[in-house]
Amino acid sequence: MSEAENQATSILLPSSKLAVYSKDPQTLEAARGLEDDWRFARVRVAGEDGDVESAIRVYEEIKSPDLIVIQTDTIDDSFTERLGELAGHCEEGTSAIIIGPDNDVNLYRKLIDMGVSDYMVRPVSTEDLAEVVAKALIEKIGVTGSRLIALTGAKGGVGTTIIAEALACGIADILGQKTMLLDTSGGWSTLGVGLGFEPSTTLDEAVRAAEANDEDSIKRMLHRVDERLQVLATGGDVMLEDTVSAEQFEVLIDMLMVKCPIVIVDVSHSPAALQRCVIARANQIMVVSTPTLPALRLARSLVQEVREVRGGDHGELSLIVNMQGQAASSEVSKNDIEKAMELDVAAYLPFDPKVFLSNESESKKLTDDKAAREVINKNLLPLVRKYLAVNENTDEDEPDGGFLDGILGKLKKKA
Ligand SMILES: Nc1ncnc2c1ncn2[C@@H]1O[C@H](COP(=O)(O)OP(=O)(O)OP(=O)(O)O)[C@@H](O)[C@H]1O
Ligand SMILES: [Mg+2]
């Protein structure tokens, strides 16, 4: 594959499902290896010890995935006939890649003519498989964007950072999506306390690395909380000095969004320009307030400003009311909040120092605490669940043609 093609597939692949049917342990191992490739974060890979016959039996019963890889030892008319049979049981638009024993140009042409996306000669490595599968998925589904979620606080200390952390842990641990968390507050960042890392870098270093497209340096700046959650370990910045510009920060966001399906940015305690730039381009904006008058008054203005920045395109704007019950007698009712803000309360979070402050102080991942996990699942995840289901929109993105269409077309031509 040419360098240009390699670069074209060096992106986060769209949400999709892939099944690999092979009796060759090396191919199945190569398929398993795809899970370690960052581009496959949204691709569900199933490796099956089987062949075209097994695939036919499976798709007689269940819906076929977006892409099927079939390995075969016999490449003759009997195989292409069985491939035709398989196509008859597949969903419209399912694509196929064949792995065979020989490098045979005529066969390659015949399979491509039948609508097969590609033909590979065994043995295949994870790298080879990744390139060919990536190309086929991009051709079939196209490139779908990652999701940027911005959290902003109406006022200092209302809990924006801990909620960003809770949301990131929930999306990674409960919804199983690869997630990146970062903040724009430079030296004022407290993410390292909650997630247990030393701030080893600065926003300035991170944007410089992004501007130089230096992926290795960015990788070193990421703290891996677990398999699915990474945090940009900034916070070493000088507190009383200006940090990076909005333009520079956008370069960093661009780079991270190509790498990760969910990017969460906590903009609490940050320069206005950085807050504004993240809010302007986020797919979803969460405004955090407490249910008390001073915070709500600012929340009202902030929501109006967010609407102005977005100029009619509000993205998904959610109001989160935190620390409910801390000062019950001074709290404003849900009804009054919604009337004043012209916005529904999307989520309430209880005032619960055990759930939030204790875990934060002990650097305990919130989803590792039973009570916190419940609060996250019940109160916060409903705000994002509908956007994050794997394969949610693939039907809409289905282009014309594919494996089935190719083979049916061929059969029709024959008839
Ligand atoms: N619902 C809650 N119940 C109990 N404690 C909470 C709750 N929400 C947040 N806290 C605690 O309140 C403190 C302030 O929270 P946090 O740092 O998240 O606020 P913030 O809005 O990001 O502040 P800043 O404006 O400084 O960025 C933290 O120690 C946090 O653990
Ligand atoms: Mg904060």
Work out the average pLDDT over 322-343: 96
**pLDDT for the residue 398:** 38
Q: Are 242 and 207 in contact (CB under 8 A)?
A: no
Element (H, E) at 284: strand 284-289
**pLDDT for the residue 401:** 47
Structure tokens at 195: 């997630």
Query: Rounded CA gap, 42 and 178, in Å?
Result: 8
What count of other Cβ atoms lies within 10 Å of the Cβ of residue 237? 22
CB of residue 189 inside a 6 A radius of ligand 1: no
Tell me where in the chain the CATH 3.40.50.2300 domain(s) lie: 3-143+395-414
Q: Are 117 and 357 in contact (CB under 8 A)?
A: no
- pLDDT at residue 412 above 90? no
Work out the average pLDDT over 271-298: 96
Altogether, the residues listed in the chain come to a count of: 415
Structure tokens at 110: 């015949």
| 184-226 pLDDT per residue, tens | 999 999 999 999 999 999 999 999 999 998 989 999 999 999 9
CB of residue 101 inside a 6 A radius of ligand 1: no
CB of residue 372 inside a 6 A radius of ligand 1: no
Query: Rounded CA gap, 121 and 135, in Å?
Result: 17
What count of other Cβ atoms lies within 10 Å of the Cβ of residue 189? 26
CB of residue 180 inside a 6 A radius of ligand 1: no
Query: Rounded CA gap, 293 and 65, in Å?
Result: 52
C-alpha angle with apex 91: 124 to 16, nearest 5 degrees?
Answer: 55
Structure tokens at 251: 């370069």
**pLDDT for the residue 143:** 61
Closest CA to 173 of 38, 356, 367, 364: 367
**pLDDT for the residue 241:** 94
Tell me where in the chain the CATH 3.40.50.300 domain(s) lie: 147-388
| Ligand nearest to the backbone CA of 194 | 1
**pLDDT for the residue 142:** 67
Q: How many percent of the chain have pLDDT more than 70?
A: 89
Q: Which residues pair with 165 in a beta bridge?
A: none
Work out the average pLDDT over 20-31: 97
**pLDDT for the residue 391:** 36
Tell the burial category of 288 from Cβ atoms under 10 Å away from its Cβ (0-12, 13-18, 19+).
Answer: buried
Name residues with Cβ closer than 5 Å to ligand 2, which is an ion.
Answer: 160-161, 268-269
CB of residue 268 inside a 6 A radius of ligand 1: yes
Q: Which residues pair with 49 in a beta bridge?
A: 22
**pLDDT for the residue 411:** 46
CA of 342 to the centre of ligand 2 (A): 25
* Superfamily of domain 147-388 in the CATH hierarchy: P-loop containing nucleotide triphosphate hydrolases (3.40.50.300)
pTM: 0.74
More confident position, 394 or 320: 320
- pLDDT at residue 162 above 50? yes
User: Confidence class of residue 93 from pLDDT cuts 50, 70 and 90?
Assistant: confident
**3-143+395-414 CATH fold:** Rossmann fold (3.40.50)
- CA torsion 118→124→129→131, rounded to 10°? -80
Q: Are 406 and 97 in contact (CB under 8 A)?
A: no
- Can you spell out the DSSP letters for 185-235? -GGG--HHHHHT----B-HHHHHHHHHTT-HHHHHHHEEESSSSEEEE-B-
Which ligand 1 atom is the nearest neighbour of the CA of 349? 1
Q: Whose CA is nearest to atom 2 of ligand 1?
A: 351
The pairing of beta strand 222-224 with beta strand 229-232: antiparallel
CA of 158 to the centre of ligand 2 (A): 8
Q: How many contiguous H segments (helices) and E segments (strands) does the chain have?
A: 19, 13
CA of 313 to the centre of ligand 1 (A): 29
Query: Rounded CA gap, 337 and 50, in Å?
Result: 59
**pLDDT for the residue 107:** 83
Q: Which amino acid is located at 203 in the chain? A: L
User: Confidence class of residue 53 from pLDDT cuts 50, 70 and 90?
Assistant: very high
Which ligand 1 atom is the nearest neighbour of the CA of 194? 31
CB of residue 269 inside a 6 A radius of ligand 1: yes
**pLDDT for the residue 405:** 54
- Can you spell out the DSSP letters for 82-140? HHHHHHHHSPTT-EEEEEESS--HHHHHHHHHTT-SEEEESS--HHHHHHHHHHHHHHH
Query: Rounded CA gap, 186 and 201, in Å?
Result: 10
More confident position, 35 or 402: 35
Q: Which residues pair with 316 in a beta bridge?
A: 284
Q: Phi and psi (nearest 5°) for 365? A: -60, 130
Cα–chain center distance at 78: 41
Query: Rounded CA gap, 319 and 302, in Å?
Result: 11
| 351-409 pLDDT per residue, tens | 999 999 999 999 999 999 999 999 999 999 999 997 775 433 333 333 444 555 555 54
Give the count of alpha carbons within 13 A of 82, CB side only.
16
User: Tokens 């203005």 label which residue?
Assistant: 301
